[in-house]
Chain A
């Protein structure tokens, strides 16, 4: 495991340290259940640079949301516990500071948007109250100044008639508008990093497009780094500079969007790309899905966790767990057969 940390440190950090905003190192978060301890995040390391957009993709249960919650130290405890690792945000390890200092990081340093805007907003408080609250806490803005700033923020996220809207309650807004309010709150204190955890998954496609464009434009304007967590490969392809593909608690492949989509090196990435019907290709008769199902996290296969579903698996995969290794400048794959995999499918994806 030590080796994995070192390699990823060297390769995902080609630029100078000054552009580094967040370093996640060997993060392990587990949940205590009746069947014992389950490692939801099992040694995840990645970097986020200032102003970049990073994608984190994977299917349900792969640990992508728990990774985000661990960064924010919002993992519910019990049953969850951050076992080990480092989350270094602007030089400070967030896992080592006292928990009473975390609120000043959340909001002012790292903003977060969740999937369900209705349950993220307080139903009994006005929109205005919910936007002005962080302004008071983090920026010391109160009274009229806070209200003016809140109205500005609502306008920034494209809500018309913002003065009047400040007096509305969440139920008076549509799903898309609620998510706009969430973005306004998340960006209100101009955080350095915005984490969007399936932020548009529950929305209709046309609204999804509105919100994604808005999020991307605002973060570009403000120079905010964006961590997009989603299962939707298309969203990442459009918005992210780099991405990490997660499976069963670990990053299995990382690289630039071009590398991972056009020349994937991990069989799981290939399987994901083959599973989705695509509008950029002629309609096909049949899809080529990944066989089988996601393994039980309490009872992971030996060796590579993807082995039972993998068409390239060898004996080695059963006994030894592959670690992330560099296959190209900026691209890393945790697979013994990555060369064979990308050679055999690479052309088809371009």
Chain B
């Protein structure tokens, strides 16, 4: 709390009071990586369509969960939103400002408001920097320090905000456990008082008891600072726990988006249903009686995605037209959209067999 109160800039989150204006608005975002061949005259022989036209909004203080398997484009989408990867086309509006096409210099003041926490708490911290300097680096970069004393007190306050002792500022990353390192990563991400955090598999590598601690911390921080999260994960139970809304990605596309409660109660897209059915829950009575939807095969290559609906090659209910028509996201229920030709007719059957609860 001391953090928001200490500067005027902390008021950003509060300025987003009109819930009608999203904090982040992504429209038709595409990222294609060229595949080149040839020795001297490199020509493009194919394109990896890592992200292929995705759209969503995130409101202030809201968590959007982005789920999908490896290779579905979740991380690329996140990186292109904060312009670490330049998107090929589409629009990313943050607090009303268009980010696509901005120079690196113009991006810098905006980056202050966007933090990122990575999966690997070991690889994402410089082993030769003291914990305090790791956490304080964004403060230096963005010129948010008035004096050396101010720097120290800001670091101390950040460390205690994430549940670490201020005395730990003098230690090096190798002296911290995995969970503590992830707390450091979170402290660094919130140092410059952002209004938006990208959490890319931030709890996936942690043991379950530590994962629960970090999830609670993230929820506390969200409440305290009105942070918006883009929460990327493959664990759907974790995503349900933390997200207000969820978007499901498959091969570079969003195939379903809904309010968290609706998505888990009534998944409309066959891929969402398969994903949900693949999650086992720690209850032997539920688990042994539950039928699973087992998908055939592996994720197809994003270089040469299947024609029509990209999921039709693995879809348990696909019909002939699925190989021809590429379905668009359609609104099928209040706050719920799915990109499936059959979804409307499928909805009733799905709630009977597809989900757990």
Binding site for B on A (CB under 8 A): 59-60, 174, 176-177, 204-210, 213, 231-238, 257-258, 261-262, 271-291, 293-294, 349
Contact = CB atoms under 8 A, between A and B. Distances in A.
Contacts of B236: 205, 279
Contacts of B208: 59, 231, 233, 272, 275-276
A319 to B, nearest CB: 25
Nearest to B286: A280
B298 interface: yes
B276 A279 contact: yes
A234 B208 CA distance: 12
Contact of B207 (A208, A237, A285, A294): A294
A261 B219 CA distance: 27
B298 to A, nearest CB: 5
B357 interface: yes
B209 A290 contact: yes
**Most chain A beta carbons < 10 A, residue from B280, B285, B288:** B280
Contact of B212 (A235, A261, A276, A281): A276
Interface stretch (B54-62, B224-232, B237-245, B341-349): B237-245
**Most chain A beta carbons < 10 A, residue from B209, B211, B213, B290:** B209
B284 A176 contact: no
A330 B246 CA distance: 42
Contact of B295 (A174, A210, A238, A279): A210
A165 to B, nearest CB: 14
A37 to B, nearest CB: 22
Contacts of B283: 237, 261-262, 278, 280, 349
Contacts of B219: 285-286
A20 B64 CA distance: 51
B234 interface: yes
A60 B207 contact: yes
Given A206-B295, A289-B216, A234 B281 contact: yes
B152 interface: no
A258 B356 contact: no
Given A279-B276, A280-B286, A204 B234 contact: yes
Given A237-B282, A279-B281, A204 B299 contact: yes
Contacts of A261: 282-284
Contacts of B278: 205-206, 208-209
7 contacts: A204-B69, A206-B278, A234-B280, A237-B281, A262-B283, A289-B209, A291-B213
Nearest to B276: A279
Nearest to B211: A275
Interface string B177-193: 10110000000000000
Contacts of A293: 177, 179-180, 210
